[in-house]
Chains A and B, each alone.
Chain A
Amino acid sequence: MPGDSSIEPLLEVRNLHMQFPIRRGAFRRTVGVVKAVNDVSFHIRPGETLSLVGESGCGKTTTGRCIVRVYEPTSGQILYKAEEQERIDLAELDNRDLRPFRREIRMIFQDPFSSLNPRLSILQVVGESLKVNRVASGSELEGRVASLLKRVGLRPEYIRRYPHAFSGGERQRIGIARALALNPRLIVADEAVSALDVSVQAQILNLLQDLQEELNLTYLFIAHDLSVVEHISHRVAVMYVGKIVELAATEDLFTNPLHPYTEALLSAVPKPDPRLRNKGVRIRLEGEVADPSNPPSGCYFHPRCPYAEERCRHEEPAVRKIEGDRWVACHFAEELDLRGFEAIG
């Protein structure tokens, strides 16, 4: 999906595939593959927040992990534009060549408990990247970690404490401080607020937005909670069984979805207002999410789609560009009149 905006994208993902082999038996023979990410393309412009949404197993986390190169993608390109450099394909680099880019592309994890090594103090956790990249050491390191803690709203006196002394929200702040340590440009936030209580979630969302403004950060925000996504993102990509089914500006996607799956997702979100109960039309999906190791023919969504027709069963819809900056993978995107958030709400 080429960038059509005048600004050059910071990151462009082209035809990304990530397959995991399924191994069985004593000799671990490969008996099949899970197509966790299946031909995914998108781009992120500097300073924007792009969200990947979808239900569990849709490949959003795997996509994020390919970009930070926890995984080595099966195929496809991850083009990153570093400052004053040509675009470079991260998918091709090995661990050594990735090092400079690991400083600029950082990750925030979902689970604030498992993502911090309980055996290291906050100074060691947050300062690790500064230390291994020889940016700072000794008292300078301490000073930098302290100011990072202050930046994310923690008291710098906490520097010698261990993670077990902190609550979930505070740990997530520590995780954010770690991500900020090396002045990153792109942050992949993988369900960064999903494990948090609503009041803590609000604190962290505010913090992320403040940091974005202040440091001109670019976010790839991976989430399953549509209200959170609606709140934080500029553009949203909806994923279903390893594929992007729709990508649009947040406002457009929520008010006027073009893919039936997006419509169903929006309809399923509980509205925090009892007066909206039983108003509008409910769309309830039948059946189960398709198995990514054995997806259905044609459009992956057709067995559950209320608008499916014969064509959907045979022909796989390509991701098409529709009006401006909107992309959708549905044969009938133009014909269907789907309901957005407001219409349902």
Chain B
Amino acid sequence: MTAAAYPPTGDGASASARVHAETRIVVANQWQLIWWKFRKHRLAMLAGAVTILLYVVALFAEFVAPYSAGTYSAQHTFLPPQSINLLQWTEAGWRFYPHVYGHKVQIDQESFKRTYIVDETIIYPVGLFVRGEEYKLWGLFTLDVHLIGAAQFGDPVHLIGTDRLGRDVLSRTIYGTRVSMSVGLVGVGLSLLLGVILGGISGYYGGLIDNLIQRAIEILRSLPTIPLWMGLSAAIPLTWPPVRVYFAITVLLSLIGWTTLAREVRGRFLSLKTEDFVIAARLDGVREMQIILRHMVPSMTSHIIASVTLAIPGMILAETALSFLGIGLRPPVVSWGVLLQEAQNVRSIATAPWLLFPGLAVVLAVLAMNFLGDGLRDAADPYQT
């Protein structure tokens, strides 16, 4: 069979659909073929949707989150998650009226422990596109509309509960998405840059320079990563502002991350260099730079995209791990790792298990990106039979 992928034709039996598909496929370029092949991978498609959703959330965190990351409330510390009730009973019958119940505080006379008891007489209506705290979206537009939140400004609505300072866990997790997901992107971006350049040089020129780069990669890869990261991040001055720490951490992560990509790129270059079509281009009189840009790089971009997608979850996990250990990002920066640090001790897990919610977000993000990467990798070479 000459073509590996055929565009799905719906019922797959009708002759006209088949003919249409064939005329479409003969002029399909690489990306169309990849897309057709990827589309058949259901799980990867779903994972792709989840990934996109996560990045949309990260982009519009201020709008999606009901509160800002720093909003606290001394009266509502360790408030448990409130579940949304969609319907309300009135004399006229059931009506659609999303709301949560309020809480009564009970203080144990012996241990002075605060416990919340659901009070069904207090009703806080919940709505979409509600007015709430003012925020500046991307530092540009001043808005006060939130995707979800208390219908009346000021009502304590905390769908996933609050932490020890009464801050909304859901909102903080949403803000954490921004930092955690972008650490992955920026880190992988840097790794990619280093990996493609060094791997490309290594693979294309070979010889001594290849030897040097390969040995350097081997040394870097033989270092145990966690202690290395710990050592290096301990060297980040405590006085640095959070933004600079954030960049320092991404640079740190990509320092190790590029090696895998460099190997991938080098391997591709080595095998492509001896491909007949590359030799043919040389014999056509195409110049070196053109051969690389027009023939070799397009032949591996899809593979690189796939391996980048597979590298991002590693970065997310690394950031989470570092921050969790207290050597990565530090408050007031909000990332999933920083949030999980709150849930570090047994007491808080016993009394406030909802603080582990950011962990769910990590699992979701990592799984989604892995499935997406797997799907992309399978679809990356549509010309294989």
Contacts and interface: CB of A to CB of B under 8 A. Distances in A.
Q: Do chains A and B touch in the complex (CB under 8 A)?
A: yes
Interface of A: 27-28, 68, 70, 99, 102-103, 106-107, 109-111, 114-119, 121, 128-129, 132-133, 158, 160-162, 164-167, 175, 178
B295 A117 contact: yes
14 contacts: A27-B211, A107-B283, A114-B275, A115-B280, A116-B280, A117-B299, A119-B29, A119-B30, A132-B285, A160-B27, A162-B29, A164-B25, A164-B383, A178-B284
Given A70-B282, A129-B285, A132-B286, 20 more contacts: A27-B211, A28-B211, A107-B283, A109-B276, A109-B279, A109-B280, A116-B277, A117-B277, A121-B29, A132-B290, A158-B26, A161-B26, A164-B3, A164-B26, A164-B383, A165-B3, A165-B25, A165-B26, A165-B27, A178-B284
B297 to A, nearest CB: 10
Interface string B19-43: 0000001111110010000000000
Contacts of A111: 276
A99 B287 CA distance: 10
Interface of B: 2-4, 25-30, 33, 211, 275-287, 290, 295, 298-299, 382-383
B287 A132 contact: yes
Contacts of B2: 164-167
Contacts of A114: 275-277
A128 B283 contact: no
Contacts of B284: 102, 128-129, 132, 178
B335 to A, nearest CB: 39
Contacts of B282: 70
Q: Of residues B211, B277, B282, B383, which shows the largest number of chain A Cβ atoms within 10 Å of its Cβ? A: B277
A110 B280 CA distance: 12
B285 A117 contact: no
A164 B28 CA distance: 9
Contacts of A162: 26-29
A118 B30 contact: yes
A244 B6 CA distance: 48
A95 to B, nearest CB: 8
A178 B286 CA distance: 13
Contact of A128 (B26, B30, B211, B286): B286
A61 to B, nearest CB: 11
Contacts of A166: 2
Nearest to A111: B276
A165 B5 CA distance: 11
Nearest to A167: B2
Contact of B280 (A160, A167, A178): A178
B27 A70 contact: no
Contacts of A102: 283-285
A132 B30 CA distance: 23
Contacts of A107: 280, 283
B24 to A, nearest CB: 10
Nearest 6 A/B pairs, CB to CB: A165-B26, A129-B284, A115-B276, A117-B277, A118-B383, A161-B26
B285 A164 contact: no
Contacts of B279: 70, 109
A238 to B, nearest CB: 25
Q: Of residues A107, A117, A133, A158, which shows the largest number of chain B Cβ atoms within 10 Å of its Cβ? A: A117
Contacts of B277: 114-117
Nearest to B381: A118
Contacts of A128: 281, 284, 286
A103 B285 CA distance: 8
Given A27-B211, A165-B26, A117 B283 contact: no
Contacts of A164: 2-4, 25-26, 33, 382-383
A106 B276 contact: no
Contacts of B286: 128, 132
A39 to B, nearest CB: 25
B285 A133 contact: yes
Contacts of A70: 279, 282-283
B192 to A, nearest CB: 20
A165 B3 CA distance: 7
A117 B291 CA distance: 11
B194 to A, nearest CB: 23
A117 B213 CA distance: 29
Contacts of B275: 114
A209 to B, nearest CB: 23
A160 to B, nearest CB: 5
A309 to B, nearest CB: 42
Contacts of B4: 164
Nearest to B290: A132
A314 B114 CA distance: 102
B272 to A, nearest CB: 10
A111 B280 CA distance: 12
